[in-house]
Structure 1
Amino acid sequence: MRSNAFSIRRLLLGDPMASSQLIHEKISKAKALAVFSSDALSSVAYASEEILFVLAAAGTAYLRISLPISGAIALLLLIVGFSYYQTIHAYPSSGGAYIVAKDNLGTPFALVAGASLLIDYTLTVAVSISAGVSAITSWLPELVPLRLVLGVIAVAIVTLINLRGVRESATIFAIPTYMFISGIMLLIGYGLVQWLIHGSLPTITVNEPVHADIAVQGITLFFLLRAFSAGCTALTGIEAISNGVPAFQPPAADNAGKTLLAMVTLLGMMFLGISFLANQIGAAPSHTETVLSQIGRALFGSGPLYIGVQVATALILLLAANTAFADFPRLSSFMANDRFLPRQMGNLGDRLVYSNGITLLGILASVLIIIFEGDTHRLLPLYAVGVFLSFTLSQTGMVRRWLRLRSKGWRRNAFINIMGAIATCTVFLIILTTRFLAGAWIVLVLIALFSFVFLRIHTHYGQIAKALSLDAFGSASRPRVPVVVIPIGGVHRGVLKALEFARSLSPDVTAVHVETSEEEGDKLRHKWEQWGDGVRLITLKSPYRSIVSPLIQYLNQVREERQRDDIITVVLPQFVPAHWWENLLHGQSAWLIRLGLLFREGYIVIDVPYHINEMALREKLG
């Protein structure tokens, strides 16, 4: 059965890869753009629409303000993008917010940045998958009852693909990413040509437009800032490349920087292009149709080009989760290496990926989808809070770095980062204010809770290291003859094998039987006289039929009678059936005894397995 399970694992994940193959798992700029940019580029599908949703509260006359707001966001995109370009070259091993904050602001800020990003990566998967499933169910309404199932299945598929390795996932995800880029650029290019030729674009009638629950009298500065912050979802995912520098082919920093510039350029062009076209055709937020769909329908009609754009959009939304699968495990490994997360998170798996981090992210995202019923409107208030908090910490950390090092061009670089820090901090505060009651407070509580847990984990590792340290330990103590106890439930070949092993450890061996039936106890004692080879047998009466408690009480009594430094060695006979499922047919007393002694000082527990197939083989040969 184990070999069958191993074969299935190999079929799903591929053959194990040697550490020497890691260099061959590095990816090119073209594939890296697909892996690390799908989250950021997919925001084009809804960022302009988010601005229009806010402005619609003041009336359709104010929708045209979305264009200058989009321009301001594009400027912020350039500032943040150039800042991360500097960060990549300043931290070529990895330039994420966690590393920058740890190096320049200190551990507490680094933990806040790490917690913010880990939470947001999880939300990215949940939001992206839920949005992609919504696009599918909008096309095929009969699948709406299966929305949760489809979401969890989609997460499982993306998780499985990422577990196969970086190169394989990059190859698979490159196709839909470049389909989306091509489709959006074709849409924008065609729209601009039509606008240049005719001076205008065909307008559309929006079905079921969104109306505000509360009327807004005019436009205030805060209202404009709220629309600005809504559109800043276009920036989510821009930090992904700086976190994933080690995945690039050498020279990693140069290739990562060029990929970042390409992503920022594409994202800015597509975002501004969609906002411009939305203004020209009179697009408005609707309950039944996305703004991107309205633009496609106005320019392409309902033909193949329109369908192609919609399919590419659905795919990119589903696969935008892949960016989080690339960065969540890597950030987890950095924090694990710093002893703020369990060490297992820093271990590379069979396929040279951080499989524990990938699996954990898949589980957490699936739980979120189930809790929030795959509803993006319930998930979005939690989204982007952590991103802009980490942006602010990263920008502030870089300012601190320039002021400390004062290297060539430090004034210009510091100014860029100061402007970025002010802008991202402003957006963070606006998002926090406008979405606080809608769920943003949950993210703040989780960030604080996670930061506390990180510190506790770090403290634990420090205490363990101190307890195990050989400093001031002195010389090793002389070995003592152990006291050996063998719990037995019967007399059979497995027990005799354990007895043979126990006598090789010490002459002080005692067998212990917990008696729940006087008749069975008499049979066991008679059999032990024949096969026990003179080893003492202690019988413990158990009128309430408990096995573990009387044994633990006896072991504690033995320990009290011995010297303080004596170690009680408990040898557990355990027969192993030929098939795994046959274990379900037998009692688990050995496991319960082991569990009962696990946290008690002064005991060593040794399992002595006896494989049933070994016995059958010997009988066949003999």
Structure 2
Amino acid sequence: MSTDNQSTPPSTRRFSLSSLLIGRPLETRTLAHQVISKKVGLAVFASDAISSTAYATEEILVILALTGSMAYLGLSVPIAIAISILLIIVTISYRQTIYAYPNGGGAYIVARENLGETAALVAGSALLTDYILTVAVSISSGVAQIVSAFPSLADYRVPMAVGIIGLITIVNLRGVKESGSIFAIPTYFFVVIMFMTLAIGFYQWATGTLGVVTGVEFATETAAPLTLFLILRAFSSGSAALTGIEAISNGITAFREPKSRNAATTLIVMSTLLVVLFLSITFIARHIEAIPSHEETIISQIARTIYGDGNILYLMVIAGTALILLMAANTSYADFPRLAALQAADGFLPRQLTYRGGRLVFSWGIMTLALAASLLVIVMRASTTALIPLYAIGVFLSFTLSQSGMVIHAMKIGKLKPGEKIESQESVLEYDKNWRVHMAISAVGAVCTFIVMLIFAVTKFVSGAWFVLVLIPALVFLFSRIHRHYKDVAQALSLENQHYQIHTERVITLLLVDGVHMGTLQMVNFAKSLGNPWKAIHVGVNPERSKITQEKWDKYIGDDNLQIIQSPYRHLLAPIREYVMNLLRENPDAIVHIVLGHLAMDSVMTQALHQNSSLILNLGLTGLERVVVTVVPLQIRHDEEGGDMNVNVLTRDDLRRARHERELNERRNADARRAQKTHKPPPGKKSSGP
């Protein structure tokens, strides 16, 4: 037996739109090579966190501006410092998580291993929600940057956002290595241009040449008093800067070996960049007296004040900011499919999410993320301010569960003896004399993130946080129901403790025919080859067509095995089900084998031109007990592929011959009509006989 080891599968040898957009399929054995370096990993997993610096300061100022006083905007700096301290604590804790759980999974895996199934589902629901919101927020914010530079595009916010989501989706379907390489350029461009801008800004501040914002008015409809509640609202809004910190711990497996060390290094670099950028932007914004505005973002005000309006460097800052915000969505595209695949493998999400596509990425997860984010953008009209209240509560909930799980993890290590090692499902527990230090760090992180989560839930409840607080329990319930379904199915399929015996049962074959053609002949040949009693059924929704079907059956098939079931209300499935159920009642010891014909075209477009009723009938009949459905396809191809090897295939030559015969018959009929018309006798006279 010969083995074909061609590197390119036959289905990819011809041109297709799919191969043009996402590339040719990759072999499974190349999966181990679909890993990324620290430099690319920083672009893939850090773009979300770094991009939050573009709007975190603005979200603080938006809340402080409610006081109606410019003086209170200065509180943005101490609030930013407090947020940065929290960020450092969370970073240290997640660094521990990376080394403890080198297979990734983040909060979901940590919670599952240490806190139980329910906590894991809560963490998973929060993270999946967060990733969807990350795409919506980052894309909407990026579009806002573009609108700041080009106000005439304001009416096209939503179409622009949805279109960009589609573009990023296509790039990610090409694979993690390719998407990472593409998105690395805008990420590093933003970092470089922002550090250069902030350095110039600090120089101007130090030399007293830093200007103030002009052309933006400070206006508020009502002036609220400065209260602790308002400050906490500003703190919770600015905590959006922490979003994306967990991304690297979820995607450790995407890094090259040694995976944990490379991921941990990338996490430290990312957090350092994030803290420096966040504090610097907030500091400069304070000293140029930046004002939150719907017309111009804070980043735009900083760049315009430092470089001047219309300066090429100003446009570069706007372009870099817009790009990093748009690319921030890529972090979710890297993590959402992985997390969804983990939960699907555990039976809490549809199993389709575990399947890798042709480019070795979780294609179903990518498409699910794109669809959910697009719907959210449309509903929220691509408004960052409207989306932010929905955003961070899920992040901090997952932070809290992850850190709490790491506390339990450290306690487990503390119970081991020196040199003792225990392997669990996702990690290796090994005695560490510093386990108390690790536990303390995780405990502090858990307490801090829990407090922030409560602040966010209370201060943003009316603004939209209530929706997330309702959504997460609903998702947990849904995931539990999915899990129970899979367990029930597994139990039903199990052979354990079963006394089922293999035996032969009587089979009655039914052919469902809609007409008489080449496909019908194949079905008849197939039924006869089985050696079982068979009968053909035609549902008469059209009396004239039923008559033609009977005539053609008598002419081409000849067997008196066709039964026409009249359907005066033109139903197709119901009469067939009723007939089959009656047959089952009359033959309680038999299996009914239903044979369906199906025209299989060579493209989606041409397939959509046909009724495809076999798909509906298959779904409607397979639910009946003691019923087996077989589909006999007739492939119709517009090329020569497989034409001489498969008798079920009608190739281009067959179609050409059929077309030629049809045209020839039409010409003959036309000639006959003309001849008859030419020899037609004049009116009132009878033609003479021969």
TM-score range, shorter chain: over 0.9
The aligned counterpart of 2:272 is 265
Structural RMSD (CA) = 2.6
Q: Given that residues 237 and 388 in structure 2 are in contact (C-alpha distance below 8 angstroms), is that contact kept between their aligned partners in structure 1?
A: no
Quick one: distance in 2 between partners of 1:308 and 1:286? 21
2:201 aligned residue: 191
Aligned to 2:396: 388
Select which of 346, 356, 372 maps to 2:380.
372
Give how far 1:201 is off: 5.0
- 1:243 maps to which of 245, 250, 261: 250
Show CA shifts across 1:60-91 (max 9, x none): 22222222221111111110000000000000
Partner of 1:513: 538
CA contact (8 A) 2:145 2:297 kept: no
Q: Distance in 1 between matches of 2:303 and 2:599?
A: 68
Cα distance in 1 for partners of 2:307, 2:56 equals: 21
- TM-superposed deviation, 1:21: 1.5
CA distance in 2, matches of 1:546, 1:511: 18
Q: Structure 2 residue aligned with 1:86, among 92, 96, 99?
A: 96
Paired amino acid for 2:392? A
| Equivalence for 1:119 | 129
- In the TM superposition, 1:411-450 aligns within 5 A as 411-450=436-475
Q: 2:377 corresponds to which letter in structure 1? A: I
Aligned partner of 1:417: which letter? S
TM-aligned CA distance change 1:311 to 1:563, over 3 Å: same
Amino acid at match of 2:578: Q
Deviations 1:519-577 (A, max 9, x none): 7656655654565464534343434444433322221111001124x210011234556
CA distance in 2, matches of 1:321, 1:398: 28
**Structure 1 unaligned spans of 5+:** none
Match of 2:620 among 576, 588, 596: 596
Structure 2 residue aligned with 1:225: 232
Change (3 A) 1:222 1:487: closer
SS in 2 for 1:482: strand
In 2, Cα distance between equivalents of 1:204 and 1:584: 61
Q: What amino acid is aligned across from residue 568 of structure 1 in structure 2?
A: V
Q: Is the 2:600–2:635 contact (alpha carbons within 8 Å) kept by the matching residues of 1?
A: yes
Q: SS at 1:349's partner residue?
A: coil
Residue 275 and residue 567 in structure 1: after superposition, are their counterparts in 2 closer, same or farther (change >3 A)?
Answer: same
Residue of structure 2 in register with 1:319 after alignment: 327
CA contact (8 A) 1:22 1:352 kept: yes
Alpha-carbon contact 2:538-2:562 (below 8 Å) kept: yes
**Aligned partners of 2:632, 2:109: CA distance in 1, in Å?**
47
* Residues 1:558 and 1:381: Cα distance change in structure 2 (over 3 Å): same
Q: Does the aligned pair in 2 maintain the 1:81–1:261 contact within 8 Å?
A: yes
Match of 1:13 in 2: 22
Between 1:228-237 and 1:514-523, the stretch displaced more is 514-523
Contact 2:148 2:297 in 1 (8 A): no
Which of 422-431 and 274-283 deviates more?
A: 274-283
The verdict on how the C-alpha distance between 1:562 and 1:410 changes in structure 2, with shifts beyond 3 A counting, is: same
Distance in 1 separating the partners of 2:189 and 2:479: 40
Secondary structure of the residue aligned to 1:573 is: strand
Is residue 398–residue 417 contact of structure 1 (8 Å, CA) maintained in 2? yes
Letter in 2 for 1:29: K
Conserved? CA contact 2:149–2:318, under 8 Å: no
How do 1:26-425 residues align onto structure 2 when only pairs under 5 Å count?
26-58=35-67, 59-196=69-206, 198=207, 200=208, 202-217=210-225, 219-302=226-309, 303-406=311-414, 407-425=432-450
Name the CA distance, whole Å, in 1 between partners of 2:614 and 2:560. 21
Alpha carbons of structure 1 residues 595 and 6: separation in structure 2 relative to 1, 3 Å: farther
CA distance in structure 1 between the aligned counterparts of 2:328 and 2:545, rounded to whole angstroms: 65
What is the alpha-carbon distance in structure 2 between the residues aligned to residue 90 and residue 504 of structure 1? 61
- Distance across 1 between alignment mates of 2:250 and 2:186: 22
**Deviation digits for residues 475-496 of structure 1 (CA, Å, limit 9, x no counterpart):** 5421223111123344444323
Map of 2:641 onto structure 1: none
1-structure distance, mates of 2:602, 2:103: 49
Moved more, 251-260 or 371-380: 371-380
Compared with structure 1, are the counterparts of its residues 585 and 443 closer, same or farther at alpha carbon in structure 2 (3 Å cutoff)? closer
Bigger mean CA offset, 43-52 vs 162-171: 43-52
CA gap of 1:14–1:490, structure 2 versus 1, over 3 A, is closer
Cα drift, residue 382 of structure 1 = 1.0
Encode CA deviations 1:179-223: one digit per residue, 9 max, x unaligned.
111112112222333444x3x452414444444444333x43333
Distance in 2 between residues matched to 1:515 and 1:206, nearest whole Å = 78
Q: Which AA in structure 2 matches 1:129? A: I
How far apart, in 2, do the equivalents of 1:109 and 1:79 lie? 22
Describe the shift of the 1:587–1:171 C-alpha distance in structure 2 as closer, same or farther (beyond 3 A): closer
1:560-605 per-residue CA deviation (whole Å, 9 max, x = no partner) reads 01124x2100112345568766666665554443333132222111
- Does the Cα contact within 8 Å between 1:548 and 1:589 map onto a contact in 2? no
Which letter maps to 2:112? K
Determine if contact 1:88/1:95 at 8 Å carries over to the other structure.
Answer: no
Q: Output the amino acid matched with 1:596.
A: G
In structure 2, relative to structure 1, the CA distance for the partners of 1:215 and 1:544 (3 Å cut) is closer
Per the alignment, in what secondary structure is the counterpart of residue 36 of structure 2? Answer: coil
Distance 1:188 1:479, change over 3 A: same
- The separation in 2 between residues aligned to 1:208 and 1:195, in whole angstroms, is 21
Greater RCO structure (CA 8 Å; 6+ sep) = 1
CA contact (8 A) 1:381 1:435 kept: yes
**Matched residues in 1 for 2:497 and 2:635: separation?**
45
- Structure 1 CA distance, aligned partners of 2:579 and 2:104? 56
State whether residues 389 and 425 of structure 1, in contact with CA within 8 Å, keep that contact through their aligned partners in structure 2: yes
3-state SS, counterpart of residue 444 of structure 1 = helix
Q: Secondary structure at the match of 1:567?
A: strand
Match for residue 490 of structure 2? 465
Query: Is the counterpart of residue 484 in structure 1 residue 509 in structure 2?
Result: yes
Separation of aligned partners in 2, 1:73 and 1:560: 72
* TM-aligned CA deviation for residue 423 of structure 1: 1.2
Partner SS state of residue 384, structure 1? helix
Q: What is the DSSP-based 3-state SS (H/G/I as helix, E as strand, rest coil) of the residue aligned with 1:383?
A: helix
Structure 2 distance, partners of 1:166, 1:454, is 27
Q: Using the alignment, how far apart are the partners of 2:610 and 2:334 within structure 1?
A: 44
TM-score (norm 2): 0.84
Counterpart code for 2:275: G
Q: Relative to structure 2, which stretch is displaced further, 83-92 or 395-404?
A: 395-404
**What are the Cα deviations for residues 130-184 of structure 1, in whole angstroms up to 9, with x where unaligned?**
1111221222222222222111110011111111111111111111111111112
| Count of residue correspondences | 617
Q: Which has the larger radius of gyration?
A: 2
Q: Distance between the aligned counterparts of 1:111 and 1:480, measured in 2?
A: 45
Is the 8 Å Cα contact of residues 244 and 330 (structure 1) preserved in structure 2? yes
C-alpha distance 578-293 of structure 1, shift in aligned 2 (>3 A): closer
Aligned residues of 1:204 and 1:294 also touching (Cα < 8 A): no
- Paired with 2:243 and 2:537, the residues of 1 have a C-alpha distance of 64
* 1:215 maps to amino acid: A
Q: Secondary structure at the match of 1:160?
A: helix
Per-residue CA deviations over 1:358-394 (Å, capped at 9, x if unaligned) read 1111111111111112122222221111111111111
CA distance in 1, matches of 2:551, 2:394: 70
Structure with bigger helix share is 1
